Amino acid sequence: MVDQNQLDSLEKKLREKPRPLLIRYFVALVGASAITIAMLLFMHDLVTRFLERDPTRYFSITSFIPAPDPGRQLPDAPPAPARAPAAPVVELIDEPDVSFEIPEVIVETETPAAGQPLILEE
């Protein structure tokens, strides 16, 4: 059961005039701006901390290649690959007297009469 005091408080809330829409939009704009600015500052701080520390702390690099000297423009060239082994040669033999028997396929284009079973094998 609902208490009478609760009903009275609900009626008062319903009779109260709501805040104007412009004030609601202003409060939402201020709140969204504050959240956006806080996130931008937090992300900037996070990125600067990340860049200042050693990157090998964050990633498991298995084959680490050091950067070239600051005075050089290009890294050292990799060693030349070894010569590939000789590839095997396949000899093809031409036999002109080999013949293949290709069976002739006859396709019947007529449909069977209604009720007549199809004969698929001969």
- Residue 65, classified by CB atoms within 10 Å of its CB into exposed (0-12), middle (13-18) or buried (19+), is exposed
The model carries a pTM of 0.30
pLDDT digits (tens, 9 = 90+) for 111-120: 766 667 767 7
pLDDT digits (tens, 9 = 90+) for 73-108: 676 778 888 888 888 888 888 777 777 788 888 887
**Helices of type H across 4-121:** 4-15, 21-52
| Position 22 pLDDT exceeds 80 | yes
Of these ranges, 3-17, 30-44, 72-86, the one predicted with the greatest mean pLDDT is 30-44
> Could you tell me if 112 and 118 are in contact, meaning their C-beta atoms sit under 8 angstroms apart?
yes
> Could you tell me if 42 and 34 are in contact, meaning their C-beta atoms sit under 8 angstroms apart?
no
Integer angstrom CA distances of residue 56 from 59, 60, 70, 113: 5, 7, 20, 82
